[in-house]
Amino acid sequence: MIDPPVAPALCHPSTMVKTSYLVGEQADMLHRGSDTAWLRAASRDFGGFVADRVGIRQRWGVPSELFWFTSGEYYLGSLVIRHRLTDDEGGGHIGYHVVYPWQRQGHATQMLRDALLKCSALGIERALLTIAPGNAASLTVVHRNGGVADGMNDEGELRFWIDTPSVS
């Protein structure tokens, strides 16, 4: 296991992690057997790529905000917070992933914990997460953060509610 140089934290996308973002996402895509072609455009204009991802944007028809989980110049993963649910509640409030080289080190658990604080600050008292039934790692992350099962959605994903912490 690699110890990050500083405690990882959610932050806004930044060009400071260009190399580790591109390498991490490429490793993750290759590990999953997914297409990496989108990374070519990102590598050519990383500044523009980042600028398109900063701030509150309309995604899935609702205001959403993207965060990267970083430690110094190291990119470990990404997380999105939907400020409100879509009409079908698909995807829930929070979506996250840790890139392959950094998986199984507790980063997703911390990312979700930090995201729940951000949700609370947005006035979201209970956050909905949806998870593919076969995603054992994400099921563990949600349970470690107090997730309570609430059946399945129309897309066959498991639904979990997590109370957000009180913000003082």
Which of 79, 73, 50, 69 has the alpha carbon at shortest distance from 11? 69
pLDDT over threshold 80, residue 1: no
Q: How far is CA 98 from the centre of its chain?
A: 7
pLDDT per position as a tens digit, 66-100 = 999 999 999 999 999 999 998 888 789 999 999 98
Give me the pLDDT at residue 168, please.
63
Return the bridge partners of 29, or none. Answer: none
With b meaning 16 or more CB within 10 Å and e meaning fewer, what string describes 103-128?
A: bebebbbbbbbbbbebbbebebeebb
Pull the structure tokens for residue 16.
């400071």
Structure tokens that stand for 73 in this block: 């110049």
pLDDT digits (tens, 9 = 90+) for 117-154: 999 999 999 999 999 999 999 999 999 999 999 999 98
- Domain at 9-163, CATH homologous superfamily: Gcn5-related N-acetyltransferase (GNAT) (3.40.630.30)
What are the extents of the domains in the chain?
9-163
> The whole model's pTM is what?
0.92
